Amino acid sequence: MAFELGMFEEFWRRKGQTETGAFRDAFAQIDAGERYGLDVAWLAELHVNPDRSVLSAPLNIASAVASRTKRLKIGIAVQVLPLCHPLRLAEEVATVDHISDGRLIFGVGRSGFARTYDAYGIPYAESRERFAEVLEIIEMAFREERFSYKGRYHSFDNVCLVPKPVQKPYPEIRMAATSYDTYPVIGGQGYPILIAVRQGKIEELEPHIKAYRAAFRAAGHAGEPRVYLRIPVYVGETPEAARAEPELSIMPFYRELGAQIAKTAALAGVQAGENRGARGDALMNVTYEETLAQKVIVGAPDEVAARINDLKSTLGIDGILAEMNCGGLIPHDRVMSSIRLLCERVGPQVR
């Protein structure tokens, strides 16, 4: 299977920008991905944060992307399952699968932040149980002509999902790892895994990926365990430009992220192994040199290609979800140039 080159879109809203402008710029970036040969456009799910993003309804956006593209796959990264009604969500996923003619990849997760759960009136402490229940119902609705289910949060009696997905039995489901202890759990369940380095370092990933793969194989699943890395990427015309241009966007993002993580360290439903307090403090004090070494891929095209190929070799990743505007402050024209360079000059060297 060829290495998958994907772009992760958050529909950033820059300071002073209208919501309309945020949608316009993000769609232009996705159009560029279609035009230049990107494999997948991945859509985040972010709520109640007007200073950051307008992407609160990823399946709605996925439908729009499907209608304006012909080739590009459309990934959800990720649908926060505990916030959803499972039958309604299954209907919407199947509908987008039809509109896209089977180009949908369904990424799922439960999110590591409580703010959205508070806004929705759902206790974060229930997130693990709700996640498992919603996912079980969705798969049952896709797979069976009619289904019944009685759970703690949802119950259904002899329900027929309409429509059924185009892809059989349903679109590929990839699962996000919210903490390192979930890697072997996801492997045991047999799903491809979506991983990231926002809270940690690239060098920390290798043993956890090995644990994921070992659990996948021990459970006897067919096929190969697959790993997809979400990571900020910036491709500049020269090494010097690539290093200088994204710094004022990347560094405030990581420091704000660190503050958010530290605030959630004692939250109900957060497990001690997540070590959020220490991770939050580390992010608030991280230097740009450390960030370049362990959290992002930044450089001229040949440098970026070499870095991706090194990660393919050391971690065995099967694709990336490239965050092309980490922090949302990189000017739109530079993001567009970076997308073009990623597709046209990096892509041929890594696929």
**CB atoms near residue 94 (< 10 Å):** 23
Sign of CA dihedral 347, 233, 50, 93: positive
Residue 323's φ and ψ, nearest 5 degrees, are: -80, 105
Q: Out of 9-18, 82-91, 166-175, 269-278, pick the least confident.
A: 269-278
Neighbours of 142 (CB within 10 A): 22
Structure tokens belonging to residue 38: 């990107």
pLDDT band at 275 (very low <50, low <70, confident <90, very high): low
**Nearest by Cα to 96 from 144, 24, 164, 42:** 164
**For residue 273, what pLDDT band results from cuts at 50, 70 and 90?**
low
Lowest mean pLDDT among 18-32, 144-158, 259-273, 325-339: 259-273
Q: Are residues 203 and 273 in the same domain?
A: no
124-178 pLDDT, tens per residue? 999 999 999 999 999 999 999 999 999 999 999 999 999 999 999 999 999 999 8
Closest CA to 338 of 309, 296, 290, 289: 296
pLDDT at 85 over 60: yes
**Whole-number pLDDT of residue 274:** 60
pLDDT above 90: residue 75:
yes
Region 35-40: mean pLDDT is 98
What confidence tier does 288 reach under pLDDT thresholds 50, 70, 90? Answer: very high
Q: What percent of the chain is modeled with pLDDT above 70?
A: 96
Examine the domain organization and report whether 70 and 211 are in the same domain. Answer: yes
Are residue 207 and residue 330 in the same domain, yes or no?
A: yes
- Phi, psi values for residue 269, rounded to 5°: 100, -10
Residue 240: pLDDT band with limits 50, 70, 90: very high
Distance CA 274, CA 199 (A): 10
In this structure, the answer to whether residues 263 and 129 fall within a common structural domain is no
Tell me, yes or no, whether 136 and 279 share the same domain: no
Mean pLDDT for all residues in the chain: 95
Strands (E), the chain: 4-9, 40-43, 73-80, 104-109, 147-150, 155-159, 173-176, 193-196, 227-235, 297-299, 319-323
Question: How far is residue 271's CA from residue 257's CA, in Å, rounded to a whole number?
Answer: 19
Closest by CA position to 190, among listed 222, 144, 147, 237: 222
Residues 201 and 266 in one domain: no
**pLDDT, tens digit, 9 for 90 and up, residues 99-123:** 999 999 999 999 877 889 999 999 9
Please write the tens of the pLDDT for every residue from 178-214: 889 999 999 999 999 999 998 889 999 999 999 999 9
The mean per-residue pLDDT over the stretch 251-276 comes to 74
pLDDT surpasses 80 at 269: no
pLDDT beyond 80 at 270: no
Which CATH number covers residue 176? Answer: 3.20.20.30
Same domain, 190 and 276: no
- Are residues 303 and 239 part of one domain? yes
Whether 224 and 271 map to the same domain: the answer is: no
User: And the tokens for 246?
Assistant: 């994204």
Strand partners, 12: 53
Residue 299's identity, in one-letter code, is: G
Query: Are both 273 and 298 inside the same structural domain?
Result: no
- Phi and psi angles of residue 40, each rounded to the nearest 5 degrees, phi first: -140, 140
Q: Smallest Cα–Cα separation from 15: which of 49, 52, 48?
A: 52
For residues 64 and 28, give the distance between their C-alpha atoms in angstroms, rounded to a whole number: 12
pLDDT at res. 281: 85
**Does 130 share its domain with 181?**
yes
pLDDT for 34 beyond 60: yes
Task: Output the six-digit token pair for 299.
Answer: 């450089």
The parent domain of residue 279 ranges over 247-293
Mean per-residue pLDDT, 31-53: 97
Instruction: Mark whether 209 and 81 lie in a shared domain.
Output: yes
What pLDDT was estimated at residue 280?
81
Say how many domains are in the chain.
Answer: 2
Question: What's the pLDDT score for residue 112?
Answer: 74
